């Protein structure tokens, strides 16, 4: 999933934490991408979900938390 998100959103940082190691329950996804510039929080999440749509239909049962930031937002929150 990290690779798909990184490629489709040209992301600088992608972290996917699996809750139980089975790939079905994702504890959190953290993405930093300039593709999020000007997008609302909801639209940012939609962009990430679109990137992993295949996994959501087959493997992944749930995503508990998602953080989506632009590079500027990530720099402020360091």
Give the β-pairing of 25-32 and 62-69: parallel
In the chain, what are the domain boundaries? 2-76
Q: Does the global pTM surpass 0.95?
A: no
Q: How far apart are CA 54 and CA 24, in angstroms?
A: 13
Q: CATH classification of 2-76, choosing from 3.40.50.920, 3.30.300.90, 3.40.50.720, 1.10.10.10?
A: 3.30.300.90
Q: What is the DSSP string of 37-48?
A: TT--HHHHHHHH
* DSSP label of 36: G
Q: For the CA atoms of 77, 5, 8, 37, what is the dihedral angle to 10 degrees?
A: -20
Tens digit of pLDDT for each residue in 20-75? 888 788 999 999 999 999 999 999 999 999 999 999 999 998 899 999 999 999 99
């Amino acid at each position: 999933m990290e690779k798909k998100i990184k490629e489709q959103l040209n992301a600088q940082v992608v972290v996917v934490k699996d809750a139980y190691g089975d790939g079905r329950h994702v504890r959190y996804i953290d993405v930093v991408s300039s593709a999020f510039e000007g997008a609302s929080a909801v639209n940012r999440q939609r962009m990430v979900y679109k990137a992993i749509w295949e996994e959501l239909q087959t493997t992944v049962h749930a995503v508990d938390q998602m953080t989506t930031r632009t590079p500027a937002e990530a720099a402020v929150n360091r």
